[in-house]
A = this chain, B = another copy of it.
């Protein structure tokens, strides 16, 4: 899945995160991850700022994908719908890796520092989308609110998707979650 692979990284992030999934985050050393990926420790730190970043190696590509998709959304789309379309497109990519997503999320949920790092990455996705909306002529606070509300929709859809037994795919969960947000903010 190219949108989730760093173009300059030697191996897909899945292979490196594997040890965290097998043994747990705390129990795995950088040396072990580097070895599994065929890297020296020194090379490891050329690709990752710290041990946590291994689990978020795809975040930059995901952000680029969202930004690109949002930038090319039809001008006629309302900001919140343009954001949702971009998130659905990203959801279609993530859909191909549901089992990995589920295992990775369990690793993150078990560690406070990983949860912090995840929140930073999600906040960054929201800021990047708000910036695209501004470039599309949407003013603030509508730009920020559309992006932030979109991220809330995504987070809740993602959680349902990995916790359910797979009846609905992620793009469908995102569409439903957006529909529910619209109902909720209409006071229903």
Contacts and interface: CB of A to CB of B under 8 A. Distances in A.
Question: This chain: how many copies in the complex?
Answer: 2
A153 B160 contact: no
A interface secondary structure, majority: helix
Contact of A153 (B81, B120, B145, B151): B145
Nearest to A116: B116
B185 A80 contact: yes
Interface of A: 78-81, 112, 115-117, 119-120, 123, 141-142, 144-146, 148-149, 151-153, 155-156, 160, 177, 180-188
12 contacts: A79-B184, A115-B120, A116-B119, A119-B120, A141-B156, A142-B183, A145-B156, A145-B180, A149-B152, A149-B184, A181-B185, A185-B185
